[in-house]
Amino acid sequence: MERTSPAGGVGRSGKLRIRIPDRAPAAPAMPQTRVLTGITTSGTPHLGNYVGAIRPAIAASRAPGVESFYFLADYHALVKVQQPERVQRSTLEIAAAWLACGLDPDKVRFYRQSDIPETTELTWLLTCVAGKGLLNRAHAYKAAVDRNREGGEDDDAGISAGLFMYPVLMAADILLFNAHKVPVGRDQVQHIEMARDFAQRFNHLYGNHFTLPEAVVEEQVATLPGLDGRKMSKSYDNTIPLFAPREQLKKLIFSIVTDSRAPGEAKDTGDSALFQLYQAFAGTDETAAMRQAYADGIGWGDAKQRLFERIDAEVAPLREKYEGLVARPERIEQQLRDGAQSLRAQYATPFLRELRAAVGLRDLGARVAGKATAKQAQAALPVFKQYREADGRFHFKLVDGERVLLQSRGFESPKEAGQRIAALRRDGFTGADAGLALGPEADNAAVQAALDALRAAEETKA
């Protein structure tokens, strides 16, 4: 079900922000795509987060026609971090980092997951439609089981139910606001597929309440190398904190691994972590100049100095803002609470009321057509329609409401047409071919989504 876009911004405290002239009045002229993503509050933001997530996300939030939701996934953090001060500190640091880097809470929904208790309530509703077998196959859970097996331990040794349920909580984050697009790293795509699966099952059982979200994996954004040349990541302990003080930043940059080529010797840009880092911050001209310097045999010390100055030039003004924000946590606190409060009032609370009623958590006196909802859901499913044309051949099409998704050629017998349909349902859709044409307004993804919906419906029946 589509709900209307919010008219107002969040965070009316108005303290932190530079005021920008008022936005055009409410009601967006073009349809808005709702983009939502969460940031787990289990660490200190580093340069890799900045280049790979913060910088591109803030740029994307300024695009027309998108309505962005960014939130601090602190419930998710509890799966990994069980030191309360670290959860608290990380939440503050990440919030301050995003604001310092230019996130505008007047234009973007910015909130903290745990300020929206409807998230956990929805998690339970989804838990009751989530297939346990599907959760068994989640990468993070499976990896933990594999490690146990390797160590000769019991499969589930040391694994919390929180880790197991992680994908359901994440689905609740997304479905609670009926997000269309979810920008994530590759490792999270499976979670979005699971969210779709839970949404489909729920919609099938209780009527069409949820939008099916799509993962967006940004292929362009660089993954930064860390101090040791491997991908910059907390788990490799090779990160450079985004807001390290200038002196510490310099020290860290000077500790980046290089080869042993002496000054005067030409250097390779291809496998140089230093060069990749430089490129992530520099413009094209600067990068070309650095490439030339490598060819001319720049010494590693000089190259590091240049890298340090380049990064510091971009980061220093942000660092100053960051420090100001972190010094006054009560302002961020207020801003986050305001953000959550308006989202709850506008969406989460009424939506949960609707969902509770849909599943039967209802006023005992209310009269409702129980069967009708299941039938409506059935009617909302895409269908294969088989028919015979004037030429005597047997055709089929896949339709979703009014929309034709697929159109087949003519088959000799209804049995052949039926077999082709069965194969589609079993194997999925790999693209139009001689036997199948896409409908005028359809694309591969729409066909596959329809087949997924049919399969989900089939499985809930079974």
Site residues for ligand TRP per CB under 6 A:
36-38, 40, 73, 76, 170, 173-174, 182, 184, 188
Least gap, CB of 170 to ligand TRP (angstroms): 4
CB closest to ligand TRP, residue no? 38
Q: What is the DSSP string of 140-176?
A: HHHHHHHHHHHTT--TTTT--HHHHHHHHHHHHHHHH
Q: Which is nearer to ligand TRP, 44 or 269 (CB)?
A: 44
Contact in structure between 129 and 88 (CB atoms under 8 Å): no
Least gap, CB of 137 to ligand TRP (angstroms): 16
Least gap, CB of 218 to ligand TRP (angstroms): 13
Least gap, CB of 131 to ligand TRP (angstroms): 19
- Residue of 292, 272, 295 whose CA lies nearest to 284: 292
Least gap, CB of 399 to ligand TRP (angstroms): 32
Coil, helix or strand at residue 422: helix
Contact in structure between 181 and 214 (CB atoms under 8 Å): yes
Least gap, CB of 186 to ligand TRP (angstroms): 11
Walk across the sheet containing 394-400 and list its strands.
383-388, 394-400, 403-408, 436-438
Q: Which is nearer to ligand TRP, 256 or 340 (CB)?
A: 340
Contacts of 22 (CB under 8 A, 6+ apart): none
Q: Which is nearer to ligand TRP, 11 or 38 (CB)?
A: 38
Q: Which is nearer to ligand TRP, 47 or 169 (CB)?
A: 169
Q: Which is nearer to ligand TRP, 90 or 188 (CB)?
A: 188
Least gap, CB of 338 to ligand TRP (angstroms): 21
Q: Which is nearer to ligand TRP, 231 or 261 (CB)?
A: 231
Query: Phi then psi for 399, rounded to 5 degrees?
Result: -125, 145
Q: Which is nearer to ligand TRP, 215 or 273 (CB)?
A: 215
Q: How many residues does the chain have?
A: 462
Contacts of 213 (CB under 8 A, 6+ apart): 36, 174, 175, 179, 180, 181, 182, 192, 195, 196, 199
User: Taking the alpha carbons of 449, 455, 459, 461 in that order, is the dihedral positive or negative?
Assistant: positive
Measuring CA to CA, how many Å separate 391 from each of 151, 385, 397, 434?
66, 17, 17, 18
Contact in structure between 257 and 249 (CB atoms under 8 Å): no
